[in-house]
A and B are shown apart, each in its own frame.
Chain A
């Protein structure tokens, strides 16, 4: 894919959000360019997930607007361009009777019209996505029988199956074994460098994010900083990776 680093994929303009009287986000503005690898960091409860949900249209901001691929979110239709790897632990039933292949196939559904059958070509794309994350040989296993790291790979395969241009990941390493972190981040690196997929990674693992991401957005109700990892580390030397063991 031809990557144009000046092209805006996501534009966040002056977004504010509150739960009742509790302001969660205030006047957040930034852009995400094609081919970016953006790490969104901040303490727990800083509004990172809320911001992500606003960018994906799952929550409506009180103020401000979001453009996706240059189109206002309310008019955006090309959802197949967007991959989403949700914070798994919160909304996933381990006893759900679906196989790895079924889960990855769900990622294709956005490309099929309503009532349309699954075609051979869709199966081939799903196979490629599962191979990319190294989970093809597990295709007939139930999702609940896998380790946290393996499940997360399947969810990435689900996102890949839609051939997205951008993937949003919310705390993707929460349930992943510490030993597997390096492997996991190298997979993300490959997707960004080789496949040209724009990545937005929410994490409180500051150490990993500053090593991996190209840009850092630090959120604590407001946008505290938006810079490269080097600038970020220079400006905020007091931040220590104390969230590391979460």
Chain B
């Protein structure tokens, strides 16, 4: 599970050698540690309307960042010699025509050579819709292409991500919207280390932001979360991160994984529930346990999943059926039971694990990709059912993550697979977990039915 190459090109004589040979040099990503500064270095806020009125939205972003204690600048020239930008936030909510993009984006471009390692670029824009004037839609959708491209140009572990205001937020500048603030904070922070080239749409003003730093430090305080497949790998890490953020975690896995599950449950001071999620009453049993033992159920993370890779020509029901049963059918059945029960806490959150295989496709994984694309379909269709409860359902699609599972991939294939993204490395389970914790937080209530990739901007797929 160790990326030896990444270590070699970042230290000692092998670093020098790699530099001289011009080998790809993936950066060591800055990852979240409680108490660390949100951004290292000054943050630049750029706006499309900087050279004319109105500047409201840009000003509002700047004020918000100042309130978070960031060192905020408004002009690319305001950088001391030798200093580097920790982050650049580009406010593009007011663009009316494609030509409006140039000033802010060119200003952004002028800062990229002075962006700090693991620096951040975050755009704020509006969704293009069918009812927009064509020129407006072109300008708004143009942001997508620019963001995804510039993210691929960033080096040194820097990432570029975008926040898109949905059509229902047309009348707002976005900054009073809890999930816009929450997404901005997430993308700026080290928690989004392996999230790159992603545009997340905030659809509504639902959700509540913490009132102070202590609140941002424990966004899930008082919440009860269930994580399936929690015995090892990504699931175990999700349990740890949710617990770190203040949640009481019910760790679920199949009975044969019970020993590893107990260790995770004890480490996060939660409870272990040995349960096969394909059981007909799995959703009800999860509810009974969470509500019975911990008084409520706020968050469900559908992480449990299996693979049975075969070319479709060689596929049988033995390899097809279990994958669909565990990865999607069980989730559908559990969600039905959870929603019908009326026993979920207010503003519940469901986060489901999809996969980049379900987006871009992967040879030998028709079964897995069907199930994971199914998860995306399910999330989109379940979102309207969760909204009346103030709830959300979202999918997180990991790319190449360093786990026991990917460690079994043959060495050369593995080396190639982990370099095929803009960050030129595999992600860690904690990267997936951080994104899930963000989507599960009360502040993310306006993000519903979305798919967020944690893939270091995989070179294929959206």
Partners in one complex: no
Which residues on B are within 8 Å of A, measured CB to CB?
A: none
